[in-house]
Chain A
């Protein structure tokens, strides 16, 4: 077992982890943050996307020890109490979700995109979420949601 310390959604966690455990497993199984989804476990679908030190990562490809001393944001960390994050509001208003399984990952990819580039072009939006599959929406309403979030100043 290996000792790690990481900040998740602003809270410090000190954990004993198996060296081969993934960040995804730690978030879901040890911390109960099941908003992060496992779609493929191979880094192909993006459903397990979280933000680590300001960058999106596929948490299924990050070994838990690699998250030591890192700051993680998951979907549960976006809203401030009852107040939704502007990106969450935009996805709700624009219908940028259907089954919801890819939604946490796509919202976090959107956050990273808008943090780096608050006024993305259509092409930049497409590229910004290219690491996340969505099988339900055909992406159209997701693009509209990202645009609406940008208009809200949704970083």
Chain B
């Protein structure tokens, strides 16, 4: 659209200059004079009782300044909901997963701190462990927490419509079991923080957090301080993707506690091995899926039974399980569905949020099952989808699913049609399918994701727009850019709304002493909700400025416009001045005015019920159709992915270069979890805790990726925007699995599809 000056332009990131010159400081780059180093001692058992901890030898080591254990935190525990606060900073009397933190040391340097941890004597009584969620659910299994029965951490049972009747009326009812990988975020920056507990009773911390306000509340609760005395100063964040950097960790609490004990600043940096063995990871899930379809391909009913390996603590699990089911009704019309979701405690590391949270597991299952049924019915995969997709609601109207999820825009039909017109799809039957040992295949998916994720609590983002007297602007929000490019988009929104250029806007990172409280960077919410707050704040500042312009010119505010940094009266060419002049006039008026605009997002007020599965988990929904072309080496089982085509309905991409980058990054992360990434576990121990053995895609592994924007202009997003950063991690696994099926004739239902699994399946098939 030509009407925008800044929105929709391919603009460089506002943080690029610092990041390309090495000037951007991440948590591990901060230090203070007199700083001590913290190291954490971890349990060698996955499940054990702590009988005694003797720290005396460690305390006597020269250079050691303090040693702490679980007792130092009293009985304080934290968690996602008041009923699930089951995790202590350091294990108290029981360790529940391998390498759980049990003690911590502060010393003058990292080597001394590490040496001291080895001198701490811990007597354990090993307990029987349970590592398979289906075994952990059974009567008589080792119990991991006293407050629940049969290790059931979260359980939802939802029932919409009449599933049994719908199955009875279906032509085909298919039942399959799907399994998703034990995958993790794989950001390159390990968790780290520098903390200082001021003896007067306040905390300042520079932590690697993508949602610093969770951490702010945790610290206030743990150290019994008012929130006004918790100062979380946000460094640059080296990747987030949910989970660990949305939460607090042993290292964070210990660094603060050790600072309190010693009066010195304390820093910790986890090793990548600590990160990969102990941090929150994606839940691996078993999805027992049953789908009923009429002869003409009409989807009748879905019954999903999901069992998630929750690991040792609840963390954000109640939200995860809600997300596995509430979007079963998108993007295809579904009149009946039943969802049984169980999150089970095991003695594995903790399952938590990761990009595509909850939804990627069940959508993978539903997409592949729909393809299997389409194949049996002899219906083309595109046709099968087009017969079931939700139409884009007419402007002003709303589509509501059976569980009261509402859509104002839906670009799935256009997205599927767009990818189906591409030569990759069009020529799939005529392309060479076999070339030596290589078999080629093309697959397709059509999926959805939420934007503006909601939780059961504080939801609103706030923004402040402060006009400086030289016409430059400070944008202050509580939102965090952990790499997704939201700082740039928020600055673009402010510039567009004010009528100035992007260069005129400066954004600072979160400092909880000054920035408005914000839920955090998760569930594709920043552009939509912090974006709305920013737009409102800019409009508020503009309104104030226009009053000064009106006074100066004797005009009405509504007759004045600001565009490209020029203020003018629309119908009077004589009356024009630069924005900087108006700012000066406003700021110097009388004895001096303060021009500050403020705003906060107002979505997410209608009811939301996790336990019943009713209501909107997001404020709007994105839609994605994706093609994948793969080659499978029929001798070695190795998969080469050559092409991804992603048609994505982000409402309107505000910075297309950023939205493309999100789609590309999400797709490659999704590719990793489809064919490479998996933690190999043995009785709670992670056997591949390095990047050499936990295989993430490298530059030589990735396909050519093309992204096409489907524009739907959602009325509930700033300038029409919806989610752009998670949709492709949901669309990629089914597209790739379907392409592998096209190449091999085999439906793989367990991720990741490693070469071993392919070779084994080909042998069983007799190839």
Contacts and interface: CB of A to CB of B under 8 A. Distances in A.
Interface of A: 28, 33-42, 44-45, 47, 74-76, 78-79, 84, 88, 91-95, 97-104, 107, 125-127, 129-130, 132-143
28 contacts: A35-B22, A38-B28, A40-B272, A47-B188, A75-B20, A84-B17, A88-B21, A91-B16, A92-B12, A94-B657, A95-B10, A97-B16, A97-B19, A99-B238, A100-B15, A100-B236, A100-B238, A127-B699, A130-B699, A133-B696, A134-B188, A135-B186, A138-B668, A139-B697, A140-B660, A140-B702, A141-B660, A141-B664
B690 interface: yes
Interface residues of B, number: 57
Given A39-B189, A40-B691, A95-B657, A138 B13 contact: no
A138 to B, nearest CB: 3
A39 B12 CA distance: 25
Contacts of B482: 99
Given A99-B482, A137-B661, A42 B690 contact: yes
A136 B699 contact: no
Contacts of A126: 699-700
A3 to B, nearest CB: 21
A149 B462 CA distance: 39
Interface string B1-36: 000000000101101111111111110110000000
Contacts of B237: 99
Nearest to B482: A99
- For the complex, would chain B's binding face be called helix, strand, loop or mixed by DSSP majority? loop
A33 B700 contact: no
B664 A140 contact: yes
Contact of B188 (A34, A102, A138, A141): A102
Top-9 shortest CB links A-B: A35-B22, A99-B483, A101-B238, A100-B19, A138-B668, A75-B22, A138-B664, A98-B483, A34-B29
B407 to A, nearest CB: 28
Given A40-B691, A42-B272, A98-B665, A142 B699 contact: yes
B3 to A, nearest CB: 24
B705 interface: yes
Residue among A28, A139, A141 having the largest count of chain B Cβ atoms under 10 Å = A139
B692 A42 contact: yes
Contacts of B699: 125-127, 129-130, 132, 134, 139, 142-143
A112 to B, nearest CB: 14
A130 B698 contact: yes
A101 B26 contact: yes
Given A99-B189, A100-B15, A133-B698, A41 B271 contact: yes
A136 to B, nearest CB: 5
Contacts of B351: none
A132 B697 CA distance: 11
Interface string B218-244: 000000000000000000111111000
Given A126-B699, A136-B483, A139-B702, A93 B239 contact: no
Given A75-B21, A130-B699, A138-B664, A40 B12 contact: no
A97 B18 CA distance: 11
Nearest to A127: B700
Residue among A35, A84, A93, A126 having the largest count of chain B Cβ atoms under 10 Å = A35
A37 B667 contact: no
Contacts of A38: 28, 269
B691 A107 contact: no
- For the complex, would chain A's binding face be called helix, strand, loop or mixed by DSSP majority? loop
Contacts of A136: 239, 483, 661, 665
A33 B10 CA distance: 32
A103 B619 CA distance: 33
Contacts of B661: 95, 98, 136-138, 140-141
B70 to A, nearest CB: 28
Nearest to A92: B16
Contacts of A143: 699
B24 A138 contact: no
B211 interface: no
B272 A93 contact: no
A66 B19 CA distance: 28
B627 to A, nearest CB: 15
B13 A84 contact: no
Interface in B21-60: 21-26, 28-29
A40 B668 CA distance: 21
A129 B18 CA distance: 21
B22 A34 contact: yes
Contacts of A102: 188
B734 interface: no
A137 B665 contact: yes
A44 B690 contact: yes
B92 to A, nearest CB: 31
B313 to A, nearest CB: 25
Contacts of B10: 95
A7 B613 CA distance: 63
Contacts of A107: 20
B673 interface: no
A124 B765 CA distance: 38
B666 A37 contact: no
A46 to B, nearest CB: 9
Contact of B22 (A40, A97, A104): A104
Nearest to A46: B188
B246 interface: no
A135 B271 CA distance: 18
B691 A37 contact: no
A135 B484 contact: no
Given A107-B20, A127-B700, 5 more contacts: A34-B29, A74-B22, A99-B482, A125-B699, A135-B188
A101 B665 CA distance: 15
A128 to B, nearest CB: 8
Contacts of A79: 21
Contacts of A75: 20-22
A24 to B, nearest CB: 11
B5 to A, nearest CB: 20
Contacts of B15: 100
A148 B759 CA distance: 40
Residue among B15, B22, B661 having the largest count of chain A Cβ atoms under 10 Å = B22
B485 interface: yes
B190 interface: yes
B188 A39 contact: yes
Given A37-B26, A130-B698, A101 B12 contact: no
Given A126-B699, A141-B660, A135 B187 contact: yes
Contacts of B272: 39-42, 45
A76 B21 contact: yes
Nearest to B10: A95
Given A35-B23, A141-B660, A135 B16 contact: no
B22 to A, nearest CB: 2
Interface string B649-664: 0000000011011001
A88 B705 CA distance: 23
Contacts of B271: 41
Contacts of A135: 185-188, 239, 241, 665, 669, 696
A78 B22 CA distance: 10
B666 to A, nearest CB: 7
